Amino acid sequence: MTTIDRPATGAEAPGTEDLDHVDNDHKPLGHGRMLRKEDPRFVRGLGRYCDDVQLPGMLHLAILRSPVAHARILSIDTSAAEEHPKVVAVVTGAMLAEKGLAWMPTLSNDVQAVLATDKVRFQGQEVAFVVAHDRYAARDALELIDVDYDVLPPVVDVRSALAPESPVIRDDLENKTDNHVFDWETGDEAATAAVFDRADVVVSQDLVYPRVHPAPMETCGAVADYDRVEGKLTLWSTSQAPHAHRTLYALVAGLPEHKIRVISPDIGGGFGNKVPIYPGYVCAIVASIVTGKPVKWMEDRSENLMSTGFARDYVMRGEIAATKEGKILAIRTHVLADHGAFNGTAAPVKYPAGFFGVFCGSYDLEAAYAKMTAVYTNKAPGGVAYACSFRITEAVYLVERIVDCLADELGMDPVELRMRNFIAPEQFPYTTKTGWVYDSGEYAAAMRTALDLAGYDALRAEQAERRARGELMGIGVAFFTEAVGAGPRKDMDILGLGMNDGCELRVHPTGKAVVRLSVQSQGQGHETTFAQIVAEEIGIPPDDIEVVHGDTDNTPFGLGTYGSRSTPVSGAAAALVARKVRDKARIIASGMLEVSVADLEWDTSGGSGAFRVAGDPGRAVTIQEIAMRAHGAGDLPEGLEGALEAQICYNPSNLTYPFGAYVAVVDIDPGTAQVTVRRFVAVDDCGTRINPMIIEGQVHGGLTDGVGMALMEMISFDEDGNCLSGSLMDYLIPTALEVPHWETGFTVTPSPHHPIGAKGVGESATVGSPPALVNAVVDALEPLGIRHVDMPLTPSRVWDALQGRPTPPI
């Protein structure tokens, strides 16, 4: 097996070893490297993003936001704004309250203010909106609104949020007397304590995973167009989950669901930022209903960074117990989670901490326990975003940092420690001590592949030489197991909506096809990969398969794209619906060839699918011929309907568990404390690989996010709750100069329960790279006796560590 960069070998599964050799640009069917079908429009500037939607008579909406973190609203004077010649409407929370629309439910069964009525609870919160004839005038009019605030003391420090003297943020909630959101635990507390009591070695470490932000290049926005004659709302919005949004709008606004059409056009990156429903979307809908005109709302970058779904913000204490020989026995953690002013976390209902329960990592433990307390603070809501796979970023960071701390304590190489404790291939399916059933894994093989690619032994030798010269070179290793593809409907729902995905496939009379998905691409290339999945099963070339997505009027219901769930759930649906159509095609073929279905063999060797008579391969009908017959006037086998199409809704039996081994090499300038990522080797195993080119792209993007989080990015606040990271001048995102030339490899361990053996990969690198990078920096600082430094590892923070005073970022 090879990648573009360099060869790699690893665990191979029967029947999959040739996939990555296939250049699908020269092979008409199925899995392989195929150029993307969406690219010709994007390279011509012909993508159609939300802000590109222009409708006749369209008005522009701008939102007035709170300048302070916590204040009571005494009065709002909109009269001057209303007199602006280009202003059509000015709307406040009080006006929304009259219609029962001032509050909306969050994805975690909390409520969030659409426009503040009583108090503002974070800087940047929505207070009023203006609708005007152009976007400049709408912004001008915001300056004319006069709000009188009675400023209240804010809750900024998560650690003191539950102190008795802390102001109560959510006094809108009945009988609320503190800032507590929820407590959550998993694992066996007593059993874990018992293991810790008898362990030879116990290491504990405080870790902060700072608040970060997905900051997609396209900010969030919407165009609402309410047709008052038809009573129909069409909403173009930057949504990763158009069907779920449609249902929620129906439930919130009382609009009949069949009269709501949500269109997610081309989306300029999502990363979880575009999963929630934001007040701006609701404002645009209200504005269109009120004015009778189409209304566009596009937030600016500061609004995006200050008010929309952040990620992480976990203060963790990790503990690990082991024998002195390096057998890991148990992991225990206590977490303080900052959820901001409203609990807007997007996670399945039974999983308020997302999938943080996978903190057992890739290791065979005797016991594990986690306890979490979530609190409100005067900060923006959110929490699950930025390619985190529902909090797996936090869990993997915890376990991979604490394992490195243990290696340091034991004086053992961190690779050796991991190798000794991996779950063995024969233990799969493996149930962790927190109840997750890992489907398949060949962990040691992936680790060896990464070490070979990196030249680990040579790197260690080089490090010894450099250390002797006083240079700071670090090598960091991380190994992760993800849990992606939410999810089985018996366990997982969001606000009561099961996390399943529909798929519909129609083959037209001439043998061309259209497949309709319930998930939505934000750059993942679904128009290509889903055509490949269907092509592999039905024998129609991917170029002859149109992929329709992102439009609730034209696609079956499903929960959308996030948590790396498109391939595990919707990809399975696409494969199975194609098999269902192929089964029907087989029956039609049996009639055409006048043989029993049992005598037919499926064959795709000729560049398109065909059924051949066993033992008489000259007698065959192609899928295209079958399609024409299905729609023709001739007889069909007894009891068979015409047409060649099917629809299914896929309910996964389990999540899929991709994994990977990452090696980071960093150099630290002792004079400036600048960290340079010299090399990064990523070996990913996502099971069956549909399009290796796209997988590599997903991994590269996630690794870059990881560099951002580990070294640069943080949403920070001052003591008054002012957001200090409200622009891209203050919130630093990696450019081409901060990241290395990525080196990737792979192994293939198919998922046993996924129809084509595939697992999700979109977030693997975001999950796995931060601990590898932090481990590398700490490894570089190891001669100075430093065991841990919190992210982001900016020069000033690393400098402090070099001076012997590493401090947490919050």
Contacts with other proteins by CB under 8 A lie at 35-36, 38-49, 51-52, 54, 135-136, 214-219, 266-269, 271, 300-302, 522-525, 693-694, 696-697, 700-705, 727-729, 733-737, 739, 741-742
> CA 634 from chain center: how many Å?
49
Of 52 and 583, which CB lies nearer to other proteins in the complex structure? 52
Of 299 and 408, which CB lies nearer to other proteins in the complex structure? 299
Smallest separation, CB 741 to other proteins (Å): 6
Of 60 and 580, which CB lies nearer to other proteins in the complex structure? 60
Smallest separation, CB 213 to other proteins (Å): 11
Of 48 and 159, which CB lies nearer to other proteins in the complex structure? 48
Smallest separation, CB 739 to other proteins (Å): 6
Smallest separation, CB 46 to other proteins (Å): 7
Kindly state the helix (H) or strand (E) to which residue 624 belongs, with its residue range. helix 623-631
Pairing of strands 328-338, 367-375: parallel
What are the backbone angles phi and psi of residue 612, rounded to the nearest 5°? Answer: -115, 150
Neighbours of 803 (CB within 10 A): 10
* 31, HSE (Cβ side, Cα atoms, 13 Å): 21
Smallest separation, CB 599 to other proteins (Å): 43
Question: Cα(129)–Cα(280) distance, rounded to whole angstroms?
Answer: 9
CA distances from 426 to 96, 202, 374, 435 (A): 59, 29, 38, 18
CA distances from 136 to 87, 301, 385, 727 (A): 11, 16, 31, 20
Smallest separation, CB 527 to other proteins (Å): 12
Smallest separation, CB 697 to other proteins (Å): 5
Smallest separation, CB 302 to other proteins (Å): 7
> Dmax of the chain from CA atoms?
87
The shares of helix, strand and coil residues in the chain, as percent rounded to the nearest 5, are: 30, 25, 45
Smallest separation, CB 335 to other proteins (Å): 27
Those residues with Cβ within 8 angstroms of residue 427's Cβ, 6 or more apart along the chain or in another chain:
364
Of 698 and 747, which CB lies nearer to other proteins in the complex structure? 698
Which one, of 533, 528, 527, lies nearest residue 569 by Cα? 533
Of 277 and 677, which CB lies nearer to other proteins in the complex structure? 677
Those residues with Cβ within 8 angstroms of residue 161's Cβ, 6 or more apart along the chain or in another chain:
155, 179, 338, 375, 376, 377
Of 270 and 279, which CB lies nearer to other proteins in the complex structure? 270
CA distances from 561 to 252, 380, 568, 664, 704 (A): 22, 23, 11, 29, 20
Of 261 and 301, which CB lies nearer to other proteins in the complex structure? 301
Of 406 and 677, which CB lies nearer to other proteins in the complex structure? 677
Question: Cα(253)–Cα(376) distance, rounded to whole angstroms?
Answer: 26
Pair 501, 221: CB distance under 8 Å: no
Which one, of 204, 229, 489, 176, lies nearest residue 320 by Cα? 204
Smallest separation, CB 34 to other proteins (Å): 11
Tokens 């996939």 found at: 19
Of 94 and 732, which CB lies nearer to other proteins in the complex structure? 732
